[in-house]
Amino acid sequence: MALGRVPLILFISFILRDGTALSLDLEGLNEQAATHITGQKLNEIFDHLATYSDTVRPGITRLVFTERDMEARVYIKGLMKEAGLVVREDIMGNTFGRWEGSDPKAGTVMSGSHSDTVKLGGPYDGALGVIGAISAVKFLRNQGFQPVKSIECIMFTTEEASRFSIPCLGSQGMTGFLKPEVLDTFKDDNGSSFREAANAAGFTAASAQEFADKALMKDTDSIAAFLELHIEQGPHLEAEKKDIGIVEAIMAPALLRVEFTGRGGHGGGMPMSHRNDPALAASELAILNEKVTLATGADESVSTFGLWDIKPNFYNAVPRSVRVDIDIRDSDKERRDSIITQTLDGAKAIAAQRKCGHTGEIKFEYPIATSDKKVLKAIQRATDALGVSSKRMVSRAYHDAAFMAQLAPTAMIFVPSKDGLSHHPNEHTAPDELARGVQTLALTIAQLAGSGPASDKSEL
């Protein structure tokens, strides 16, 4: 498959700091694309990567620092080396493949995502951003492109919360948002913490604080730009028949944990008038939360009561305790904070009315991300040059890019998800859609890496 249907622009030109003009011959790239960036070749890689799983397809289970994850890491590092990249890992397991630019002071263009999965997930969530970045860089190298800025492909550690119940630990560590105590206090199903699992996998530190200190990027000003290619995880691109999503903002989650307690009792023996049922209190809170979330009038305001831990959880026993974890997201921090406040205040009032014990806390709240306008323009130029359709949109799911955006010019590129599915065994993106995403990423990286020093943020 060619890089574009009919290229609208045959050359993209960059004016470097010394006044030298650098041009990419898009028609020439089109002639080579069928060999280097095709859905068939990409799917061969994804199919092999999917074999590193604790479950058989269609569901893929690859949790961080498990045996299958460590095998997948070896495979991905091998792909980086095949692309001519110099590979390194940090103390938390974040993995980098570097292509040195011609100007050591010009900064670094970074691109990547994650390779860990949820339980019984799909083949592309996260993995597309890692494999796509490596494939895009390999393509540019094969075409003789010589970057001014250095380029790094990144595989972040444990973006998913599927093992330790907290997402994006690797990118949080890199960007300074990590609270070290979570590396000890959040446990997996076997009672192991991140620190214990990392040490067992060969990423060793004496304390959670040492992980945080050593993972932190020391020279964030050198990041010229960050790009993350991802499947949409929603239905909009497919429904509107758009090839590429250009992501202008990333909605950010907050996790609330509320627990109600009561006396409990026998389901037949305890009269209704004598009960202080925590399950009813939690249910009432869910209805209240729905009302305050809908009251914003914003489609980007969403709340999910995703976890209900009821004890003793027997059909004929009045519950003694109910813990609910509530995911609240928005693209506007003020709106999100208002939903959080009303939910926590509502929990307190409901507990008092129903004579239940009660606790409520914010377990984490992550920053909302706004994409950099000049990086967005570079993506738009790439899609225009390739002759593919695009849509400006918001990411409703959270990504490592949201943390990178707090430090560096950042944006995301989306490709369609069939039926909007992700985190699901039936997750699917067509081969030509995968290829278009990687082609767009390749031309965007080329623009950003050929555009001069990181200190000049005004020019791309």
pLDDT of 36-49, one tens digit each?
Answer: 789 999 999 999 99
Q: Tell me the average pLDDT across 171-179.
A: 96
Residue 28's pLDDT is: 54
Q: What is the DSSP letter of 418?
A: G
| pLDDT tens digits along 310-367 | 999 999 999 999 999 999 999 999 999 999 999 999 999 999 999 999 999 999 999 9
| pLDDT tens digits along 355-371 | 999 999 999 999 999 99
DSSP string, 135-176: HHHHHHHHTT---SSEEEEEEES--S-TTTS---HHHHHHHT
Query: Do 135 and 18 sit in the same domain of this protein?
Result: yes
User: At which of 307, 340, 365 does a domain end?
Assistant: 365
User: For residue 460, is it within any domain?
Assistant: no
Residue 225 has pLDDT above 50, yes or no: yes
User: For residue 281, is it within any domain?
Assistant: yes
Residue 456 has pLDDT above 50, yes or no: no
Query: Do 419 and 391 sit in the same domain of this protein?
Result: yes
User: For residue 455, is it within any domain?
Assistant: no
Q: What is the CATH number of the domain that holds 257?
A: 3.30.70.360
Query: Do 141 and 162 sit in the same domain of this protein?
Result: yes
Residue 33's pLDDT is: 53
Q: What are phi and psi of 139, to 5 degrees?
A: -60, -50
* 150 and 98 Cβ atoms separated by less than 8 Å: yes
Query: Do 40 and 147 sit in the same domain of this protein?
Result: yes
Query: Do 136 and 171 sit in the same domain of this protein?
Result: yes
**What CA–CA distance (Å, rounded) separates 404 from 174?**
9
Residue 459's pLDDT is: 41
| pLDDT tens digits along 373-420 | 999 999 999 999 888 999 999 999 999 999 999 999 999 999 999 999
Query: Do 266 and 389 sit in the same domain of this protein?
Result: no
Residue 454's pLDDT is: 43
The end-to-end CA distance of the chain, in Å, is 28
Q: Tell me the average pLDDT across 110-132.
A: 98
Residue 149 has pLDDT above 70, yes or no: yes
Query: Do 259 and 236 sit in the same domain of this protein?
Result: no
Residue 4's pLDDT is: 39
User: For residue 454, is it within any domain?
Assistant: no
The whole model's pTM is what? 0.88
Q: Across-strand partners of 15?
A: 21
| pLDDT tens digits along 411-454 | 999 999 999 999 999 999 999 999 999 999 999 999 999 844 44
Residue 20's pLDDT is: 40
User: At which of 365, 399, 417 does a domain end?
Assistant: 365
User: At which of 295, 330, 365 does a domain end?
Assistant: 365
Average of per-residue pLDDT values in the chain? 91
pLDDT confidence bin for 32, thresholds 50/70/90: low
Q: What is the CATH number of the domain that holds 158?
A: 3.40.630.10
Residue 197 has pLDDT above 70, yes or no: yes
Tokens 């540019």 sit on residue? 140
User: For residue 402, is it within any domain?
Assistant: yes
CA 331 to chain centre: 15
Residue 18 has pLDDT above 50, yes or no: no
Residue 385's pLDDT is: 86
Query: Do 158 and 270 sit in the same domain of this protein?
Result: no
Residue 2's pLDDT is: 41
User: For residue 29, is it within any domain?
Assistant: yes
Determine what percent of the chain is predicted with pLDDT higher than 70: 90
Q: What is the DSSP letter of 419?
A: G
Query: Do 220 and 284 sit in the same domain of this protein?
Result: no
| pLDDT tens digits along 67-108 | 999 999 999 999 999 999 999 999 999 999 999 999 989 999
Residue 37's pLDDT is: 85
Residue 452's pLDDT is: 42
Give SS3 for 27.
helix
User: For residue 457, is it within any domain?
Assistant: no
Query: Do 434 and 327 sit in the same domain of this protein?
Result: no
User: Domain of 285?
Assistant: 252-365
Tally of structural domains, the chain = 2
Query: Do 65 and 196 sit in the same domain of this protein?
Result: yes
Q: What is the DSSP letter of 234?
A: S
Residue 144, C-beta contacts closer than 8 angstroms, at least 6 positions apart: none
User: For residue 5, is it within any domain?
Assistant: no
Token pair listed for 340:
């959080």
Query: Do 155 and 292 sit in the same domain of this protein?
Result: no
